[in-house]
Amino acid sequence: MEMRGSRHVFSMDYYAFRSGLLYAAPGFKLFFAVLAMALCLWGDNNGVSCFVILSVAALNIRKNRVGLKAYLHLLAIPAAFIFLGCCALALDAGYGLMDGLSALPGRARGREYE
C-alpha cells in the first residue's frame, strides 16, 4: 500500500526478501560468517581484518543487490553502538569511572557492610 506524498523507507525485511542469498542454505551463511570471523581472529593483523571486512562488504553489496549508500545506512546503527561502547571504555580506562562504585550505598571505603 503506497501513500501519496510520503517517502518510502525500505526496511530490513524488504532487503531480506529481495536478497540474492534468499534461497541459500542457512548452514552455508553460518559457515561463511564463522569463516570470516575466524580469518579476522587468526590473521591478528589490521591489514587482514580490513581486507576481510571490505571483501565481505563488497560481496554483500553485490550478492544482495543493495546500493552502497543503502548498505552504509543499514550499518549506521551498529556503528553507533560500537562507537558509544568504545567511548565508554575509553572514559573508564582514562578516568577510572568504575572506581566510583565504592561510593554506592551499602559500601563503606570499598568494603561491604556485614
Mutual orientation of helices 26-43 and 46-63 as an angle, nearest 10°? Answer: 160
Phi-psi region of 111 (alpha: psi -120 to 50; beta: other; left: phi over 0): beta
Say yes or no to pLDDT of 112 above 80.
no
Measure the CA–CA gap between 45 and 107, rounded to whole angstroms.
Answer: 43
Q: What residues contact 91, with CB distance under 8 A and at least 6 apart?
A: 97
Q: Domain boundaries in the chain? A: 25-65, 66-98
Return the amino acid letter for 37.
Answer: M
Mean local confidence (pLDDT), 95-109? 55
pLDDT at 82: 93
* Segment of 3-12, 32-41, 69-78, 88-97 carrying the highest mean pLDDT: 32-41
Output 105 or 60, whichever has higher pLDDT.
60
pLDDT at 33: 93
Output 22 or 102, whichever has higher pLDDT.
22
30-70 residue pLDDT tens:
999 999 999 989 988 899 999 999 999 999 899 888 888 88
Q: Which single residue is written with the C-alpha cell 559500601?
A: 107
Cβ pair 33, 19 in contact under 8 A: no
Mean local confidence (pLDDT), 82-107? 70
Return the DSSP state at 1: -
- Phi/psi at 45 (5° precision): -150, 140
pLDDT at 9: 63
Say yes or no to pLDDT of 101 above 70.
no
pLDDT at 89: 85
- Phi/psi at 24 (5° precision): -70, 150
